[in-house]
Amino acid sequence: MIVCKECGHQNEEGDAFCGSCGTFLEWAGEAVAAEEPEPEPEPEERAGLIDRVKSAVGIGEEEAEAPEAPAEPPPAEEERPAEAPPPPVEPVEPVTPEPPKVEEPPKAEPPKVEGPPKPEPPAPEPPKVEEPPKPAPAGPEGIKPGSAEAKAREEEAKARAKAAAAERAAAMVAKPKPPAPPEKGAQQPGAVKPAPPKKKPPVTKVRKPPSQKIKPGDLICGQCGEGNDPERKFCRRCGGSLVEAQVAKLPWWKRIFRRKPMEAGARKGRRGRAREAAKTGRVGYRRVLSVLGRGRMLLGLLAMAGILVVGLSFGRSTIVSWYDKARSALFPRFEVVNADRAKASGRLRGHPARLAIDGAKNTYWAGGGEAGESLEIFFPSPADIASVLITSGAGEEEFLEQPRPQGIRVFFFSEDGDRVETKQITLKDEPEAQTLDVDAPGTARVLIEIDSVYPSQGTGSNVSIAEVEFRTKA
């Protein structure tokens, strides 16, 4: 067990951080061993019969009271003569030099040569401190300081120092000399394109697997993924806060089949439920649910058997036809229906109505004008039309040279002349084919009326349609 010195919380042996205050346990933790039980006191030994007789007679006491022989004193150490104390040392007074007198420089005297020292008494005396020689007064060549000539020389020295400092500052601020021109015939370096900056490789943090199995209800650390007990406030491995940690949950399939725990003694056995039903005269709800479950299972089996019987009775051909119908409704396949002939209310020379059904996108029908023109298309035999593809304009190259249809109405007629379907649509101003979904069974003739057009950006004034295609479901 590891006890935190900061808060006193008891942590397990493998924890690196305190679960209460988050302190690093290697610095602020103390390993505490389990308390061992105190040893029982040993029983006192009971004296025997002989010892009691001796103590009554007093034999043991005389032996204990016998005085011991005095120990011989240790040999005295040899006396040594006392050493004489060192002689006292007299303090030396410091000698302060006299201030220099501003007078004419005196002539230097030769230093005095002292003779051999006299024999000193046994007590040592401090050596005599000689006075230092007096310094000579300042001023070259005997010029008195403070005089006019001395001041003039000082000013001249200051002016020289200022001039030297100005020269040094000018040399530091001076512009650098221009580079020397290249020599004739020398090869100049070519321009180098700067390289793009290299991207640093992404740093991928690899999470260590949890040190122990994560149980439902544990707090999962968001930094290292370690599982922690629900009562902890900080992660046991990295010390991160567990305030926003996720709580480990059971998988959904385990939660579905998980039974609610019951208190001790609340669960009733078969005999208990039978006795309760006999007393109250009612059947338990568990038995009712089990009967209903068995009934649902039986109904399901009967339904599957009925489907098999019906399928076998109708035969394989019926099932295949149903499959084809469902497939055509969900994933339809189309086939092209070719028209027989076409006629229009008007046309431009060289662009008749039959060019709208020739299957080519580089040819087109051009009417006699703009809005109000019509195009009528005929089929050799009635067909179930499911979609119509209309490509407007005078082809991709001359798309903007002629007006294009904008609002149109499409009428589908049967072989008897009855109207089967009517559609009204606004076309986009683009050269691609546009699809119109319809449901017109038994169509023998189609009439397209143009109500409005997109204006031409050139000199043309004849509304144009490049191609009209029809399709039916396979």
pLDDT at 98: 52
3-state SS, residue 379: strand
Secondary structure letter of residue 195 according to DSSP? P
Residue 297: is its pLDDT beyond 90?
A: no
Q: Would you say 395 and 362 are in contact if contact means Cβ atoms under 8 Å apart?
A: yes
Region 444-451: mean pLDDT is 94
Task: Round to whole Å and give the CA distance between 238 and 16.
Answer: 7
Residue 142: is its pLDDT beyond 60?
A: no
pLDDT at 69: 46
Indicate the pLDDT class of residue 91, thresholds 50, 70 and 90. Answer: very low
3-state SS, residue 63: helix
- At the second CATH level, the architecture of 333-473 is Sandwich (2.60)
Task: Round to whole Å and give the CA distance between 445 and 443.
Answer: 6
The closest alpha carbon to 365, from 406, 337, 409, 405, belongs to 405
pLDDT at 422: 92
Domain positions in the chain:
1-34+212-260, 273-331, 333-473
pLDDT tens sequence across 45-60: 566 667 776 776 666 5
pLDDT at 170: 76
Indicate the pLDDT class of residue 391, thresholds 50, 70 and 90. Answer: very high
Q: DSSP labels for 316-338?
A: HHHHHHHHHHHHHHHS--EEEE-
Indicate the pLDDT class of residue 75, thresholds 50, 70 and 90. Answer: very low
Indicate the pLDDT class of residue 129, thresholds 50, 70 and 90. Answer: very low
Q: Would you say 366 and 348 are in contact if contact means Cβ atoms under 8 Å apart?
A: yes
Region 3-21: mean pLDDT is 84
Q: Please, which residues bridge with residue 472 across strands?
A: 335
Residue 318: is its pLDDT beyond 50?
A: yes
- b or e along 146-180 (b: 16 or more beta carbons within 10 Å of the residue's beta carbon)? eeeeeeeeeeeeeeeeeeeeeeeeeeeeeeeeeee
pLDDT at 105: 47
Indicate the pLDDT class of residue 187, thresholds 50, 70 and 90. Answer: confident
Region 372-396: mean pLDDT is 92
pLDDT at 300: 86
The closest alpha carbon to 144, from 153, 156, 157, 135, belongs to 153
Q: Would you say 462 and 368 are in contact if contact means Cβ atoms under 8 Å apart?
A: yes
In Å, what is the CA distance from 312 to each residue of 119, 309, 432?
A: 152, 5, 50
Mean pLDDT of the chain: 75
Residue 449: is its pLDDT beyond 50?
A: yes
Tokens of 367: 């009417």
pLDDT at 382: 93
Q: Is the full-model pTM beyond 0.75?
A: no
Region 208-228: mean pLDDT is 87
Task: Round to whole Å and give the CA distance between 227 and 345.
Answer: 84
pLDDT tens sequence across 22-43: 888 887 778 877 555 556 656 5
Helices 285-314 and 316-330, packing angle to 10 deg: 100
Report the percent of the chain where pLDDT is more than 90. 21
- b or e along 111-122 (b: 16 or more beta carbons within 10 Å of the residue's beta carbon)? eeeeeeeeeeee
Q: Would you say 431 and 465 are in contact if contact means Cβ atoms under 8 Å apart?
A: no
Report the percent of the chain where pLDDT is more than 70. 65
Which one is predicted more confidently, 58 or 196? Answer: 196
Residue 8: is its pLDDT beyond 90?
A: no
pLDDT tens sequence across 236-258: 888 888 888 889 888 777 776 66
Residue 432: is its pLDDT beyond 80?
A: yes
Which one is predicted more confidently, 263 or 150? Answer: 150
Which one is predicted more confidently, 270 or 66? Answer: 270
Q: Would you say 426 and 410 are in contact if contact means Cβ atoms under 8 Å apart?
A: no
